Structure 1
Amino acid sequence: MPKIDHAPARRIKDFVRAVRTSGLYPQNPVVNSATTEPVVWVGGRDHLLFCSNNLLGLSNHPGVREAAAKALDRYGLGSGGSRQMAANIDVHRALEERIAEFLGQEDAICFAAGYMANVGSVPALMKLDRYLEIDQVKSVAPMEPGCGPGWEIFSEELNHASLVDGVRLARAEVSRFPHRDMAALAGLLEASEAPSKFIVSDGVFSMDGDIAPVPELAALAREHDAMLMIDDAHGVGMLGQGGRGSLEHLGVGTEEVDLQMGTFTKAFGGIGGYVAGDAELVDFLRISARTYIFSAPLPPSIAAGVAESIDIAEREPWRREKALENAAFFRREANALGYDTLGSAFHIVPVLIGGEAEAAEATRRLRHRGIVAPHARFPAVPLGRARIRFVMTCQHDREQIGYLLKCLAELRQAD
């Protein structure tokens, strides 16, 4: 039976066809091997992969795989429900305690994805006043998204999409401040009449690879009696003497930041997200974050594997050291070729291309040379600022990076 032909669907299909015709539709290759390794099998031949988030090479580590396999054998594939129903399993609680201990926080709450951690936590915090209006919390139940009176959120303009969406769902008054501009943030905080202020910022910015001025953010939060949340998805496991993230790297104590969000997808080679902080703040999220209450948690095998990954990352600092050394080498050589790496400082090294069509063509040319490195374009980055976002892991060697640099040099000569 033919599908009903109606105008809304036709408009959507016409748009997709136009994007395909323009050459801007993402042509992501189908990979026929693990995408956690630096060499992958695509289209019948090996390709070098420079976009994997498996930064420390832990996804396929024998110890991690063994821990996950044992949990799979014991618990099965899924979790069987939400944490507040059937699935408050011991392995989930053990992971929360382990990540809290690693970060030096009192407690942590885990979500099925880092995205869910942000889009669940930010709106939940904004609902506090509405809870207090309900007969002095005699009836505590998950509420529809919506902000109580008196909150204003101060959001960094380059925050990750998950933070941006969390802020939107909160339905609070929002003031965006320019990238790393503490004078502008101070002015916004000074002008605000909101009784409750909430500052949110990435720690390491995912598309530029630079770091937030966390000490200054913490100082402004103290000065203006504001809550501060740092999304350290790209910092934890990679920065700081013990790999505890941008706070440790910049000498900021955990007591200076109310909530520290992160993921298990990057340094720890798994999937899932968490928010860590004081125990009572975390407990509040357990009774108010809709993406926690109304969603199944991580599969138990993933939770067990990630806990083992944290242990390995902590006792093998050479992994993050090598990843950062690889990134420093690549950044230096890419700059020498005349590329703009946008002030990146760590394992994320963007190479600015500019136009969307030009970036798509650069990605295709690299793919032809056996390199998988998708480009980022609007709306992930501003119009005219498209880039190829290279990620260096501890598994890349200098020969592989050298070949990438050779290909980038050839691209520049062709232009």
Structure 2
Amino acid sequence: MGRGQAFGLSTTARLALVQRLARRREGQEAQAASDPRGFGAIQNVKDWGLVRDAMDALGIESPFFRQHEGIAGARSLIGEREVINFGSYDYIGLNGDPRLHQAAMEAMARYGISASASRLVSGERPVHGVLERKLAAHYGAEAALAFVSGHATNVTLIGHLMGPRDVIVHDAAIHNSCVEGARLSGARRVPFAHNDAAAAERELRAARRGAQRALLVVEGHYSMDGDVPDLAAFVRMARKHDAWLMVDDAHGLGVVGATGKGAFEAAGVDPAEVDIWMGTLSKTLCACGGYVAGRSELVDWLRHTAPGFVYSVGMPPPLAGSAAAALDILHAEPWRVAKLQANARLLRDLCRTRGFDTGESAGLGIVPVVLGSSVRAARVSAALLERGVNALPIVFPAVPEGSARLRFFLSAAHEEADIRTTVEALAAAVDSVPVADPGG
């Protein structure tokens, strides 16, 4: 894409848009200057205002914060209309499962809705321990600890574990929560080219010199691209360079591996070779929160000192109970993982047959369809919804401009007919949106 086609607009259309936004910005700058208690002078607020104004000027309806009027699984209700849904993390189709609902109700009846306090003081409930023992067993770990927020799990773990004399080497596509934790720690942060093990080793070798401690961070299943790392290679390089290896397997549990155990199963790696396993309860396990699994000395230290755990209310007992039930079902019903993976492969392969760019998707649970400009991705998403399919756009700055995409989260609850209908609808939606605005 040439400079004149940035964001999918012709040179004339782009200049017209810039002029309109400049006029709006002048008025907003004047208003911000006259309001000393306002927030409009903050650069990030200005940046968001520019994005919002650009969407308004281009007539693009925001695809975000759409209300779902029921259980959002393979299908959902948006605006009281049933759509095929690819916007939820319900990978193995358990969100509406009555067994999870029963486990949540039993925990709620016995322990209440809220833990009502930090677990350190008076928020500890037996259901927390049940969940943590099941998670530890899943990873062959000595212990596990559940946090009330998945994002906060990475922030508080990395921010608490590492310090200014340390280095954190991580995949360039690592989740925001890991980046924020690294910033909090004060450690030197060194990204490497996405999913490039050779680049990772070069960076780790160079960064390790002079650092007190080193942490190597990868994901088990990358949510933007749907690909997986060569975990065995990362285990070897972590041992070779005396670094801790941390795997964020938030999108890997229930998705990666023949039975959905996660990245270690797919790679044939002993999970004990990974120093820190992190995951979330909000995806395959249909709850909310995060967890860390590893050696007991690490988990015990976090339990007593990690700010995001010690100073936060304990996980609501109904969520802990339902997550534990979901983990049991994952182990007992591996057919769900097989169906999920078959659905993802079918969607990926049908899209590729139609000429769509699905990147390096492994066809496990996430399939991106790269469309190019952010404007085009947003417009195709809207056109797709009009045809009864919900798939959200991922646009700049979440991904570089030119690689904006629709992201499809698959579920075991999708049927083959859903997949085939979706690809037909996607082809029609793409055809309905011009590659670039030809005018001004």
TM-score by length of 1: 0.90
Q: Which residue of 1 aligns with 2:400?
A: 382
Matched, 1:282 2:299: yes
Q: Which residue of 2 aligns with 1:34?
A: 71
Segment of structure 1 superposing worse, 311-320 or 405-414: 405-414
Q: Which residue of 2 aligns with 1:9?
A: 39
Letter in 2 for 1:85: V
Residues 156 and 396 of structure 1, relative CA distance in 2, 3 Å threshold = same
Matched, 1:53 2:89: yes
Matches within 5 A, 1:16-27: 17-23=52-58, 26-27=62-63
Matched, 1:252 2:250: no
Matched, 1:239 2:261: no
How much has 1:257 moved relative to structure 2? Answer: 0.7
Q: Deviations over 1:111-154 (max 9, x none)?
A: 1121111011011111xxxxxxxxxxxxxxxxxxxx253x1110
The CA distance in 1 between the partners of 2:50 and 2:202, in whole Å, is: 42
The CA distance in 1 between the partners of 2:305 and 2:398, in whole Å, is: 29
Q: Which residue of 2 aligns with 1:143?
A: none
Q: Which residue of 2 aligns with 1:166?
A: 181
Letter in 1 for 2:146: C
1:405 is aligned, of 405, 414, 423, to 423
Matched, 1:305 2:305: no
Letter in 2 for 1:316: E
Contact residue 96 and residue 109 of structure 1 kept, 8 A: yes
Q: Secondary structure at the match of 1:188?
A: helix
Q: Deviations over 1:32-83 (max 9, x none)?
A: 1111x22222223211111110111112111111111111111111111111
Matches within 5 A, 1:29-108: 29-35=66-72, 37-108=73-144
Q: Secondary structure at the match of 2:322?
A: helix
Contact residue 71 and residue 95 of structure 2 kept, 8 A: no
Q: Which residue of 2 aligns with 1:215?
A: 232
2:288 is aligned, of 271, 275, 283, to 271
Q: Which residue of 1 aligns with 2:220?
A: 203
The CA distance in 2 between the partners of 1:83 and 1:167, in whole Å, is: 25
How much has 1:243 moved relative to structure 2? Answer: 2.1
- Number of positions where the alignment pairs a residue of Structure 1 with one of Structure 2: 391
Q: Deviations over 1:316-347 (max 9, x none)?
A: 00111101000101100000111010110111
Q: Which residue of 2 aligns with 1:184?
A: 199
Letter in 1 for 2:111: Y
Contact residue 55 and residue 392 of structure 1 kept, 8 A: yes
Q: Secondary structure at the match of 1:84?
A: helix
Give the superposed CA RMSD.
Answer: 1.8
Q: Deviations over 1:167-207 (max 9, x none)?
A: 11111011111112222222222223113111011111110
Q: Secondary structure at the match of 2:127?
A: helix
Q: Which residue of 1 aligns with 2:12?
A: none
Letter in 1 for 2:77: W
The CA distance in 2 between the partners of 1:25 and 1:219, in whole Å, is: 48
Q: Secondary structure at the match of 1:79?
A: coil
Structure 1 runs not aligned, ≥5 long: 127-146
The CA distance in 1 between the partners of 2:420 and 2:258, in whole Å, is: 28
Q: Which residue of 2 aligns with 1:153?
A: 168
Structure 2 runs not aligned, ≥5 long: 1-33, 435-440
State the percentage of identical aligned residues.
Answer: 36
